[in-house]
């Protein structure tokens, strides 16, 4: 499995064999629409599940996006065998649409079968509109180890099974030895790679359904024009601005993602303080109820920052380019009133900090829920860092920016500080912004921003979740004179980590808890190069087979000055209080900062 991982993470396909007396063969294939990171995540999940087939001499698993198999024989050239299977959904399309659906779905599968074996990578995906409210999607993928003849044979068998046995079911899958074929009324594949490309970030246009794309482009275009208008006004182009303003207002009226300012005022009770859900660095968030009864969250941007226009545009632009189950969903915005408003999905359990740091509410955070929050947040960050159409660094991962839905499932929010950068960029040099206690040391000292800054923030969050304690900016502010990371590191070295476990947690195994502690420590290591990538973190948290690396010492951040120790050498880096900081950082945190990286002799 490790040999397969080496190649599948870069090429999307791999085979391997053991070198022992008893030879075991393996094959892994990511479907071509997956990005590299999504492929790695899918492979990690399949590698955890596949060993459940043991002690059988062969096993295979199909997930939505990848395939993994082991056997006591070389199976790389097998196109069909006696273990081929197909699956039909228990639900069907509406009776009135069934004749047309059957015809078009069969034609779609026929076309995919005829094209995939001749396409590069043996992959083809397409869709056909059956009615205004119904579209059928299809995808065909052969393993790259097959010949074109073998691929065709495999897909033909799959086509006969699902077309002949499943229609008018609304979803069907053919799972053969050398291929996977599926149709569905749901867009199960990532459409950006539907042209048969390898799903790499260099060749992925954003296609998330025609309506969503057009609506997103309208809003982004509106905000961009508006932003340009405000920039040009500084140069004295008042007449042009007035004309642009009229055009923008007209575009807003026709936008599916637009909201009228008056409607949002009524929905929030004129921004009544009783409806206030929380407040971040760039705005306050209010609960609102639309006339149809739908609950929403409305973000009202502050005007006391000089770059609020940039933050608004940045958040709309970035969040419209990403869609993931662990990211908060942007429903729209309003730019026609006296202030700018962002409208998000409403999450009934507000933010994680409201529970985690409340002695009464935290009892609702069971071990299962906390572990789901830890894994879900990791998956969301892994998507931002490499699974979406752009690489995005969030820059402000913390408990208050993790929102919880009705089942306490986590969603990352607040993209006002987020930044995206090109594939060939190793880092961004940017002004300091974020929250002290969560900010990576290399970012504080040098202002160099990479994904590893998010990894560090995530590690702090993990330790907070499992310990039920807030990380203190200063070791002098904690009860025993030690920061959260310093406590964790000391107990790690003395093998007493379980004494730090939140006493309100019950039912978790020591093995699981220690693994989470160790993952948290790996993420907050002083050296960014040693911190694991977020997709690797997901693998660590979900796999039971892999031995975790040994963490090195984290840095200890102290806003009141450097603390020296008797048996350590200390390297301190001071940031002058006169250095300019972003306005999102608390005024109380603008004192002198020392960063101490301690190494035992």
* CATH number for the domain harbouring residue 337: 3.30.200.20
Task: Calculate the average pLDDT of the chain.
Answer: 76
Give the residue-averaged pLDDT of 339-368: 91
Asked if residue 77 is part of any domain, the answer here is no
Tokens matching residue 319: 């969040």
Domain termination site, one of 36, 71, 106: 71
Identify the pLDDT of residue 207.
31
Q: Which of 170, 396, 414, 454 is catalytic?
A: 396
* Predicted model pTM: 0.54
Query: What integer is the mean pLDDT of 169-178?
Result: 95
Please say whether the dihedral angle defined by the alpha carbons of residues 390, 420, 333 and 290, taken in this order, is positive or negative.
positive
410 part of a folded domain: yes
Same-domain pairing of 47 and 104: no
pLDDT value for 336: 64
Are 313 and 358 in the same domain? no
Residue 261 located in a structural domain: yes
From residue 425, how far is each of 128, 202, 387, 420, 465 by CA, in Å? Answer: 39, 14, 16, 10, 32
pLDDT grade, residue 202 (50/70/90)? very low
Average of per-residue pLDDT across 497-509 = 91
Instruction: Output the pLDDT for position 111.
Output: 95
Distance, in Å, from the CA atom of 594 to the CA atom of 548, rounded to the nearest integer, reads: 31
Q: Is residue 244 part of a domain?
A: yes
Check whether residue 135 and residue 61 sit in a common domain. no
Position 588 scores a pLDDT of 32
Eight-state DSSP code of residue 554: P
Mean pLDDT of 299-309: 57
41-68 average pLDDT score: 82
Q: What is the CATH number of the domain that holds 496?
A: 1.10.510.10
**Distance, CA of 82 to CA of 365 (rounded, Å):** 47
**With the CA atoms of 116, 118, 121 and 127 taken in that order, what torsion angle do they form, in degrees rounded to the nearest 10?**
-30
221 shares a domain with 180: no
Residue 509 confidence (pLDDT) above 50 = yes
Residues 429 and 538 in one domain: yes
Whether residue 80 lies inside any domain: the answer is no
> Which residues carry a binding-site annotation?
299
Shared domain check, 295 and 428: no
Choose one of 203, 234, 268: the last residue of a domain: 203
Q: What is the pLDDT of residues 532-562, one digit of tens each?
A: 999 999 999 998 766 899 999 998 644 333 3
Percent of the chain topping pLDDT 70: 68
Question: Are residues 95 and 58 part of one domain?
Answer: no
Neighbours of 61 (CB within 10 A): 19
Q: How far apart are CA 249 and CA 222, in angstroms?
A: 9
Query: CATH no. for residue 138?
Result: 3.30.430.20
Asked if residue 537 lies in contact with residue 382, where contact means CB atoms within 8 angstroms, the answer is: yes
Above 90 in pLDDT, residue 520?
Answer: yes
Is 370 among the domain residues?
yes
Are 174 and 216 members of one domain? no
Residues in the chain: 601
The predicted pLDDT at position 330 comes to 81
Q: Is the pLDDT of residue 51 over 80?
A: no
Q: 432 and 521 share a domain?
A: yes
Spatial separation of the C-alpha atoms in residues 125 and 387, rounded to whole Å:
19
74 is catalytic: no
With bands split at pLDDT 50, 70 and 90, how would you rate the model's confidence at 591? very low
pLDDT(26) > 80: yes
Mean pLDDT along residues 575-593: 31
Judged against a pLDDT cut of 90, whether residue 177 lies above it is answered with: yes
Higher pLDDT, 212 or 89: 89
Do 410 and 540 have their domain in common? yes
Asked if residue 387 is part of any domain, the answer here is: yes
**Does a structural domain hold residue 577?**
yes
Asked if 190 and 221 sit in the same domain, the reply is no
Q: Provide the token pair at 531.
A: 């911190």
Our count of domains for the chain comes to 4
Which residues fall in the annotated binding site for ATP? 299
State residue 84's pLDDT score.
Answer: 94
Q: Which of 93-102, 423-432, 446-455 tops mean pLDDT?
A: 93-102
Q: Which domain holds residue 129?
A: 85-203
Q: Please identify, among 345, 374, 399, the residue that sits at the C-terminal boundary of a domain.
A: 345
d(CA 101, CA 95): 10
pLDDT above 70 (res 473): no
57 in the same domain as 93:
no
Could you tell me the pLDDT band of residue 203, with boundaries at 50, 70 and 90? very low
Q: How confident is the model at residue 145, as a pLDDT?
A: 94
pLDDT digits (tens, 9 = 90+) for 376-419: 999 999 988 887 667 788 888 999 999 999 999 999 987 655 45
Cα–Cα distance between 367 and 358 in angstroms, integer? 16
Section 268-296 average pLDDT = 88
Which residue did the predictor score with more confidence, 333 or 358? 358
């Amino acid at each position: 499995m490790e040999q397969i991982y080496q190649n599948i993470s870069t090429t999307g396909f791999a085979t391997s064999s053991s070198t022992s007396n008893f030879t075991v063969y393996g094959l892994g294939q990511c479907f071509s629409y997956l990005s590299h990171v999504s492929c790695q995540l899918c492979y990690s999940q399949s590698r955890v599940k596949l060993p459940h087939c043991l002690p059988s001499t062969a096993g295979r698993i199909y997930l939505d996006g990848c395939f993994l198999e082991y056997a006591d024989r070389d199976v790389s050239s097998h196109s069909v065998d006696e273990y081929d299977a197909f699956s039909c959904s228990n639900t069907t399309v509406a009776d009135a649409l069934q004749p047309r659906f059957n015809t078009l779905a069969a034609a779609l599968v026929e076309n995919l079968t005829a094209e995939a074996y001749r396409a590069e990578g043996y992959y083809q995906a397409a869709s056909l509109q059956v009615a205004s409210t119904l579209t059928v999607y299809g995808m065909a993928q052969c393993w790259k180890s097959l010949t074109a003849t073998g691929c065709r044979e495999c897909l033909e068998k799959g086509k006969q099974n699902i077309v002949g046995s499943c229609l008018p079911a609304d979803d069907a899958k053919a799972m053969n030895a050398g291929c996977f074929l599926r149709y569905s009324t749901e867009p199960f594949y990532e459409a950006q790679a539907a042209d048969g490309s390898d799903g790499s970030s260099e060749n992925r246009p954003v296609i998330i359904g025609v309506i969503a794309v057009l609506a997103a482009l309208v809003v982004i275009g509106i905000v961009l024009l508006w932003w340009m208008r405000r920039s040009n006004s500084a140069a004295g182009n008042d007449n042009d601005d007035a004309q642009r303003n009229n055009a923008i207002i007209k575009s807003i009226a026709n936008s599916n993602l637009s909201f009228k300012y008056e409607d949002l005022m009524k929905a929030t009770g004129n921004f009544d303080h009783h409806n206030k859900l929380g407040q971040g660095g760039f705005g306050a968030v209010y609960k609102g109820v639309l006339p149809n009864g739908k609950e929403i969250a409305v973000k009202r941007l502050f005007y006391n920052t000089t770059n609020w226009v940039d933050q608004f545009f940045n958040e709309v632009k970035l969040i419209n380019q990403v869609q993931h189950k662990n990211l908060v969903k942007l429903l729209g915005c309003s730019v026609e009133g006296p202030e700018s408003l962002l409208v998000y999905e409403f999450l009934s359990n507000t933010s994680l900090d409201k529970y985690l740091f409340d002695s009464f509410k935290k009892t609702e955070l069971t071990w299962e829920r906390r572990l789901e929050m830890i894994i879900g947040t990791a998956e969301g960050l892994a998507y931002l860092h490499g699974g979406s159409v752009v690489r995005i660094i969030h820059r402000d991962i913390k408990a208050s920016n993790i929102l919880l839905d009705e089942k306490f499932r986590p969603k990352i929010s607040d993209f006002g500080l987020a930044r995206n950068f090109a594939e060939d960029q190793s880092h961004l040099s940017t002004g300091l912004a974020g929250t002290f206690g969560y900010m990576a040391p290399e970012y504080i000292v040098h202002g160099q921003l990479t994904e590893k800054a998010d990894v560090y923030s995530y590690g702090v969050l993990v330790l907070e979740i499992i310990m039920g304690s807030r990380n203190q900016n200063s070791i002098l502010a904690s009860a025993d004179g030690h920061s959260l990371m310093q406590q964790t590191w000391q107990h790690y070295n003395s093998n007493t980590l379980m004494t730090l476990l939140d006493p309100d947690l019950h039912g978790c195994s020591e093995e699981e808890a220690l693994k989470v502690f160790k993952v948290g420590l790996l993420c907050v290591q002083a050296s960014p190069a040693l911190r694991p990538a977020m997709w690797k973190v997901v693998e660590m948290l979900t796999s039971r087979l892999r031995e975790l690396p040994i963490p090195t010492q984290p840095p200890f951040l102290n806003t009141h000055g450097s603390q020296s120790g008797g048996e350590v050498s200390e390297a301190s880096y001071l940031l002058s209080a006169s250095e300019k900081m972003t306005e999102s950082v608390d005024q109380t945190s603008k004192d002198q900062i020392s960063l101490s990286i301690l190494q035992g002799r």
